[in-house]
Amino acid sequence: MSGINFLSRFICFSALVLSITSCGLKYVPGPSLQDLEKNRKTKLEEQLTRDFAAVGKTYVSLTYGETVVIKPLSYQRLDSLFEEKYRLSKIGLPTKDLEPLIENQKMVLLSDTTEVLYMETHWFELIQDSTCEFIIAQCFLNNKNVLRKMDFVDQFQTGKSNRAWAEIYMKEDWLTRDMGYTSNEDLSFYSKMKNREFSLQGEEKEAFLNNVFLVMRIARENKNTAAQGIVLKLAANQMKNEIPNFQPADYTYSFKKEINSETKQDQYVVEAVSLSDKNILITRKYDEFFMPSY
């Protein structure tokens, strides 16, 4: 009889499952972390598009850094209790003393109105007339994707002639060789230039970046960031702009690297000697960031 009763119960259970399935009830998984992040960024971009359009600026999203979750102290305390419980369980020690602390902290958390925030470091561009403004901002959103605040980390302006190079610079796209990713050589170049740029302000920052974009053009042509190739072309370009009737082909060029006696940093020296008159010598110097030294 027990086998028959089991079979009967099994048939009834199967019928119940079929009945639920036929009613259209099924498990629907929640959104993944990737989906939540994508939706959060979409909402942020929609908000920024509206906000900047209201002041006559066109917003263009460039890229993002890693998401940072900022939890209130009550959440952090609960996390630390769970971590301690896991640690003790892993080494075979009792965790019963932690249970009341965990339950108490859960109650504290329920009464805490402080929001969990998601910080997105965002690189973007604003276009207005002939001016392009590039911004790095830290954007703080809650779990409903409402933008609570935005702090600017860095920003600069440039003309439309440098827009494409500024975008490459901001996103750190490949510069010297297109290998489907940005090479270590290019990343090292960006890191060096940005560390210097972040320390500058106003006209000094603008002049530095304009020179960076010129250097990037040369590096793209040379297919490398080697100092000699960059500085020789910078010097020829500078002489042509500064000296009337200067013809680069009428000179021979030499390059050397030395230590600047004042700054104690590397500097590059280019000497141009006239092919028609060896007594004509033109010298140009550049610092370690390829800025002209006067």
264 within some domain: yes
Q: H or E element: which one contains 225?
A: none
Calpha distance 197→194 (Å, rounded): 5
232 within some domain: no
252 within some domain: yes
Check whether residue 156 and residue 248 sit in a common domain: no
Residue where one domain finishes, among candidates 113, 135, 161: 161
- This prediction's pTM: 0.78
Calpha distance 268→236 (Å, rounded): 14
Residues spanned by the domain of 292? 243-294
CA-wise closest residue to 256 among 242, 241, 240, 272:
272
Enumerate residue ranges in the chain where pLDDT < 70: 1-28
What is the Cβ-side half-sphere exposure of residue 149, based on CA atoms within 13 angstroms? 5
CA 169 centroid distance within chain: 10
Q: Give pLDDT, residue 26.
A: 66
Residue where one domain finishes, among candidates 108, 140, 161: 161
Q: Give pLDDT, residue 5.
A: 43
CA 28-118-53 angle, to 5 degrees, is 100
250 within some domain: yes
- How many folded domains does the chain comprise? 2
Residue where one domain finishes, among candidates 142, 161, 180: 161
72 within some domain: yes
Check whether residue 254 and residue 149 sit in a common domain: no
Q: Is 120 exposed, middle or buried (0-12, 13-18, 19+ CB in 10 A)?
A: buried
269 within some domain: yes
Q: Give pLDDT, residue 2.
A: 43
Calpha distance 170→182 (Å, rounded): 13
257 within some domain: yes
136 within some domain: yes
* CB neighbour list of residue 173: distance below 8 Å, 6 or more residues apart: 167, 182
